[in-house]
Amino acid sequence: MRRGEVWWVNFEPSLGGEIQKQRPAVIVSNNSANKFLNRIQVVPLTSNVERLYPSEAYVTINGVQSKAMADQLTTVSKARLSSLIGRISSEDIRKVEQAIKVQLDLLR
């Protein structure tokens, strides 16, 4: 499991406005942590690409456009990941990083 990879992640059970169901998510945690810890940080993806908010970024996975939702950035157990879908480009990783910075107000 490496930064920039997109995996199927089971987000159930969820509460309130948390992301729901099994869906793709891009790994955003660093590779050292990914190697040694039993949990990782991910940004969930959605196929609903109609509107883009400042804390979101368009990404392409296997030729299909998706939207990374940095407002749903979360830590999950590696046990929640079921299968590797693919990897996003370096340019798309930078767009996701920018969306995370907006969401966490790290642009100052």
Q: Coil, helix or strand for 51?
A: coil
Q: How confident is the model at residue 107 (pLDDT cuts 50, 70, 90)?
A: confident
- pLDDT exceeds 80 at position 79: yes
As a whole number, mean pLDDT of residues 3-24 equals 95
Instruction: Please report the domains of the chain, with CATH numbers, ordered by start residue.
Output: 5-103 (2.30.30.110)
55 Rama class: left (phi>0) / alpha (psi -120 to 50) / beta: alpha
pLDDT the model gives residue 81: 98
Q: How far is it, in rounded angstroms, from Cα 37 to Cα 76?
A: 11
pLDDT at 108 exceeding the cut of 80 = no
- Rounded CA-CA distance 60/48 in Å is 13
What single string gives the DSSP state of each residue in 2-26? -TTEEEEEE--S--TTS--SEEEEE
| Mean pLDDT (whole number) for 81-89 | 98
Other beta carbons within 10 angstroms of residue 53's beta carbon come to 13
For the stretch 26-56, pLDDT in tens is 999 999 999 999 999 999 999 999 999 999 9
Q: Considering the chain, what is the average pLDDT of its residues?
A: 97
What region, left, alpha or beta, does residue 36 occupy, with left being phi > 0 and alpha being psi -120 to 50 degrees?
A: alpha
Report the C-alpha gap between 106 and 108 in whole angstroms: 6
Interstrand relation of 64-69 and 39-46 (parallel, antiparallel or unpaired): antiparallel
Q: What integer pLDDT is reported at residue 29 of this predicted model? A: 98
pTM above 0.75, yes or no: yes
